[in-house]
Amino acid sequence: MREKTSRITHHVSYLGFQFPKEKLYIRKTPKICKNGEKRRKEEKKLVITLRLRARMDKRYNTSRDEKMTDDDGDKNTSSSTSPSSSSFSLAEEARLLGNERYKKRRYHDAIACYCDSISIQPTSAALSNLAMALSGAGPTRYRANVVRCLILSVALDPERVKAVEKLNTELTLSGDVEFASHVASGDGMRDMDEYTPRRVRECFEKMAKEGNVFPKKCEENLKELSASLRQVFIGKETGNGCFRAGDFEDAKNAYTAGINAATAEYAKTMDDTTSADGKGTSRVVTPGVSILLCNRSLMKSKLGDFQGALEDANEAIGAVLDGDVNYVKAILRKADAMKKLEKYDDAFEAYFLCWTRLPGDANIANELNECIEKSQRPNKKSFKAVAGPRPCKDMNEYNALIQNHELVLVDFHAKWCGPCKQIAPAYAAMNLNKYRSVLFLKVDVDEAQDIAAREEVQAMPTFVLYRYGVKMDVMRGADVNALDKLVSRWTQTI
């Protein structure tokens, strides 16, 4: 059946709701409309969504008009008044709807709801939730927009611990502190990159156009946060320059100065924040300081202070969300310090975690093998870490590997297959040199027929890509360029 387009205009009334004028809603009807039931369900969902959107626009515009006419038309006074309870409740309603969709991993639907909430009334919670939804939809692709949302969220409420921890995590994993500093100063708010979703772009453009949507204290917090991030950037660049020149002591001092200066600047945002009993509230580490702690850990290790290096690494890991798994760089610093302290069992565990996150890194595999030889583990002779593509024959092992890694690429091959032999060196080089964080597996279809049958392999070579345990893509043939594009596309989503 050919797809048809149905138009619902302002003169159509459905379920007692009159659609607003000057709006045209276009929807493609499903291909199969058995007894009209499926079509009626789709129309009902559409109308409910449009009704909520229209209510939000109407209440938001009404609240804005009321606020602008308060105090005898004094704009300066009205801009500082608190939002009406109706607009706030509607914004909260949209945010809670976004939370429900986020829990179901409907990230783009959640983004739309959070943008609706922010358009009505910008709040720290809605901005923080929007950042989480963007991170779920594309952790790498949307990272700039995630940082943008988190900076505004922290400026609105410096005591929102989750937002501060998430901001510190994003800055630590990306390392782009300079961009975050520009965003906080206002320079980066208008520079939306090509990966910005349309709804997010419209939301921020609306806030920029209206102006005065944030309280004065938020603007002050943005300035102080920008100054704090600037100190992190200066400490990082100065210390890195000394490190490249071989001046480890000066590098350590530069990182320490950056930590102290950034912490002092960020503390200004907390001056007016006190708890109910009048005591100052506690907060997490200053955003971005984990980078300096990790770098200072390396300098202390170079200078022979292995215990100090271990303490800095642990502090850096503890300030990052799931840092004991995600902050691989700091975990490597921790493993190196424990190895030099001759704590080989603990060093083995840290290196093993890094090896699972960077299976293509040959240096980590070598360090892991050295620690297992010097450890007191009873089964150390049966273990040997190998960097690069990992062979797999057992179904249980196969299921465990694809479920416990972010991105897994599986090569189904055969010993007698010519194209398989042809692409094998390039496949190994991709893992060792370019995509070290991706787990590359090799499955011989003759030795693991049950795995090949489950994946419905009919030609060799066949490449299957898993993301967070879900099969996302399949490619057949020994085309190196096509395989490289496939892996490159999916690495942007983890």
Element at 466 (helix H, strand E): strand 462-467
Catalytic residue among 115, 149, 371, 417: 417
- The candidate with the shortest Cα–Cα distance to 417, out of 475, 480, 459, is 459
**CA 172 – CA 170 distance, rounded (Å):** 5
Residue 287 is which amino acid?
P
**CA 103 – CA 113 distance, rounded (Å):** 13
Left, alpha or beta for 3 (phi > 0: left; psi -120 to 50: alpha)?
Answer: beta
Please answer whether residues 352 and 328 qualify as being in contact, where contact means their C-beta atoms are separated by less than 8 angstroms: no
Please answer whether residues 443 and 392 qualify as being in contact, where contact means their C-beta atoms are separated by less than 8 angstroms: yes
- The candidate with the shortest Cα–Cα distance to 51, out of 86, 13, 77, is 13
Contacts of 165 (CB under 8 A, 6+ apart): 284, 319, 320, 321
Which residues on adjacent β-strands are paired with residue 474? Answer: 464
- The candidate with the shortest Cα–Cα distance to 389, out of 413, 372, 415, 371, is 413
- The candidate with the shortest Cα–Cα distance to 157, out of 225, 228, 67, 231, is 225
Task: Give ∠ CA 9-10-14 in degrees, rounded to 5.
Answer: 85
Active-site residue flag, 420: yes
Residue 334 is which amino acid?
K
Dihedral sign (CA 294, 299, 302, 305): negative
Determine phi and psi for 453, rounding to 5 degrees. Answer: -70, -40
Residues in the chain: 494
Query: With 0-12 CB in 10 A as exposed, 13-18 as middle and 19+ as buried, what is 374?
Result: middle
Please answer whether residues 154 and 160 qualify as being in contact, where contact means their C-beta atoms are separated by less than 8 angstroms: yes
Active-site residue flag, 113: no
Q: CA-based Rg of the chain, rounded to a whole angstrom?
A: 27
Please answer whether residues 19 and 50 qualify as being in contact, where contact means their C-beta atoms are separated by less than 8 angstroms: yes
**CA 427 – CA 420 distance, rounded (Å):** 10
Two tokens, residue 69 = 């006419």
Instruction: Return the SS3 of 321.
Output: coil
Where in the sequence numbering do the catalytic residues fall? 417, 420
